[in-house]
C-alpha cells in the first residue's frame, strides 16, 4: 500500500513546480482549483457511460429519480477518487510538464485539504448511493473507487501493465448504472453488463496509448512506467493500439448477440470503429505526436457516438 506523508510538502512542491512552470496571468480561483482536483472532463464522460448503463438495463422501466441519484452518487465517488489520485501522485505530477500546474504540485491546495476533500466526496457518494439507489450499485462504485485509487494508481510506477489494470475501473462506470437498474440479476443480467464493460475496456487501450506516446518524455521524467517508455520506435505501442482498436469491430455483432442493441448499433459500431481503427493504422505508419493526437481525438469521438447508437437502438428500435 502507498505511504502518504502529508506534512510540510506543499512548499517544496511549490518551489519545484514554480521553477519550471510558466507564470500564469491570473491565479485560478479556489473553486477552479477544487474543480480541477475532480478531473471534470473525465468525470462527465464517465457519468455519460453510467447513465447509458442505467438506461440500457432499465429499458422502459427507467425512473428519472433513480437515474439522477445514481449519477449524483457515482459523480461524487469519481470526483473523490480523482482528488485522491492526485494527492497520491503530487510528487510525480510536479515532475511532469502536463501536470505540474495542478493545484497540489503547484502548492495551491495542501495535501491535507485534498485528502479531506477526496475522502469526503467519495464517502458521501457511497453513502448517497447506499441510501438512495441500491447495494449492488454501491458495491460496484466502491470496487471502481478502490481499483482506481488503491490498485491502479500505485501500479503506475511499477509496471507498464498498469494501463490494463486502470482499464478495469475505467470500464466499471456503466456497470454501476447497470446494477442501479437491475440489481445483481434480472433482464439481461450479467451478459449485458459484460457487453458494456467490454466496449469500454477495449476502447481505453488505444485511447491511453495515444496519450502515453504523446507524453512519453513526461511519463519517463515522472518515473511512470508506460509502454512507449520501453518502446522507443513505437512499433509495439502501435501494434497494441491497432489490435485493440480492431477488436472493437467484432463487438458490433457480439454485443447484439448478448441481447443488447441490434442492427442500428451494429452499423454505428462498424462505421465509427472503422474510423477509429483507421486513425490507429495511420499512427502505426507514421508514429508522430500529431498522429497520436488524432487517435486521441477519434477515441473521444468514438465512445459517445457508439454509446449513443447503443441507446438509440435499445430505446427506439426495440
Applying CB under 6 A, which residues contact ligand FPP? 42, 46, 74, 77-78, 81, 85, 89, 141, 144-145, 148, 152, 166, 169-170, 173
221 binds, among ligand FPP, ligand HEM, none (CB under 5 to 8 A by kind): none
Binding mask 75-104 for ligand HEM (x = CB under 6 A): -----------------------x------
The C-alpha cell at 21 is: 512552470
293 and 214 Cβ atoms separated by less than 8 Å: yes
Contact with ligand HEM (CB under 6 A): which of 3, 24, 26, 41? 41
* Residue 163 binding result from ligand HEM, ligand FPP, none, given CB thresholds of 5 to 8 Å by partner type: ligand HEM
In the Cβ-directed half-sphere of 265, how many Cα atoms lie within 13 Å? 32
Q: Please state the closest distance from residue 66 (CB atom) to ligand HEM, in A.
A: 21
Task: Count the residues in the chain.
Answer: 318
Query: What would the grid cell of residue 220 be?
Result: 519517463
Q: Name which of ligand FPP, ligand HEM, none residue 41 binds, using a CB cut-off of 5 to 8 Å depending on partner kind.
A: ligand HEM
Q: Is 249 exposed, middle or buried (0-12, 13-18, 19+ CB in 10 A)?
A: middle
CA distances to 113, 192, 295 from 78, in Å: 17, 23, 25
Classified as helix, coil or strand, 156 is: coil
- In the complex, the smallest distance separating the C-beta of residue 194 from ligand FPP, rounded to whole angstroms, is 18
Q: Which three cell numbers mark 44?
A: 462527465
Residue 144 binds to ligand HEM (criterion: CB under 6 A): no
Residue 15: count other Cβ atoms within 10 Å of its Cβ.
Answer: 11
Q: What angle do CA 149, 190, 311 make, to 5 degrees?
A: 85
DSSP, res 232: T
Per-residue interface string for the shown chain with ligand HEM, residues 156-185, x marking contact by CB under 6 A: -------x--xx--x---------------
Grid cell digits, residue 15: 518551489
The single residue among 20, 127, 257, 300 that binds ligand HEM, judged by CB under 6 A, is 300
How far apart are the C-alpha atoms of 177 and 26, rounded to whole Å?
Answer: 39
Among 204, 237, 280, 298, binds ligand HEM (CB under 6 A): 204
Task: Point out which span in 6-14, 15-23, 43-51, 121-129 binds ligand HEM (CB under 6 A).
Answer: 43-51
Question: Is residue 49 a contact point for ligand HEM (CB under 6 A)?
Answer: yes
| Residue 73 binds ligand HEM, judged by CB under 6 A | no
Amino acid at each position: 500500500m502507498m505511504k502518504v506523508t502529508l506534512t510540510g510538502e506543499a512548499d517544496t512542491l511549490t518551489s519545484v513546480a514554480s521553477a519550471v512552470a510558466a507564470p500564469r496571468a491570473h491565479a485560478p480561483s479556489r473553486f477552479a482549483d477544487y474543480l480541477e482536483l475532480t478531473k471534470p472532463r473525465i468525470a462527465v464522460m464517465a457519468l455519460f457511460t453510467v447513465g447509458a448503463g442505467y438506461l440500457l438495463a432499465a429499458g422502459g422501466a427507467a425512473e428519472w429519480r433513480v437515474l439522477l441519484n445514481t449519477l449524483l452518487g457515482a459523480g461524487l465517488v469519481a470526483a473523490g477518487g480523482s482528488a485522491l489520485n492526485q494527492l497520491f501522485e503530487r510528487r510525480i505530477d510536479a515532475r511532469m510538464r502536463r501536470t505540474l500546474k495542478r493545484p497540489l504540485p503547484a502548492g495551491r491546495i495542501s495535501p491535507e485539504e485534498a485528502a479531506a476533500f477526496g475522502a469526503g466526496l467519495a464517502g458521501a457518494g457511497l453513502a448517497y448511493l447506499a441510501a438512495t439507489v441500491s447495494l449492488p450499485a454501491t458495491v460496484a462504485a466502491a470496487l471502481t473507487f478502490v481499483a482506481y485509487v488503491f490498485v491502479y494508481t500505485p501500479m503506475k510506477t511499477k509496471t507498464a501493465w498498469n494501463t490494463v489494470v486502470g482499464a478495469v475501473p475505467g470500464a466499471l462506470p456503466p456497470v454501476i448504472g447497470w446494477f442501479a437498474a437491475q440489481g445483481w440479476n434480472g433482464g439481461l443480467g450479467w451478459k449485458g453488463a459484460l457487453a458494456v464493460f467490454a466496449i469500454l475496456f477495449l476502447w481505453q487501450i488505444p485511447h491511453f496509448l495515444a496519450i502515453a506516446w504523446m507524453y512519453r518524455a513526461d511519463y519517463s521524467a515522472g518515473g511512470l512506467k508506460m509502454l512507449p517508455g520501453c518502446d522507443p520506435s513505437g512499433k509495439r505501442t502501435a501494434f497494441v493500439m491497432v489490435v485493440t482498436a480492431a477488436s472493437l469491430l467484432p463487438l458490433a455483432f457480439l454485443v447484439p448477440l448478448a441481447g443488447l442493441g441490434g442492427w442500428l448499433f451494429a452499423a454505428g459500431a462498424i462505421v465509427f470503429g472503422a474510423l477509429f481503427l483507421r486513425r490507429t493504422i495511420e499512427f502505426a505508419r507514421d508514429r508522430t505526436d500529431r498522429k497520436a493526437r488524432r487517435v486521441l481525438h477519434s477515441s473521444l469521438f468514438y465512445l459517445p457516438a457508439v454509446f449513443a447508437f447503443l441507446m438509440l437502438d435499445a430505446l427506439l428500435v426495440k
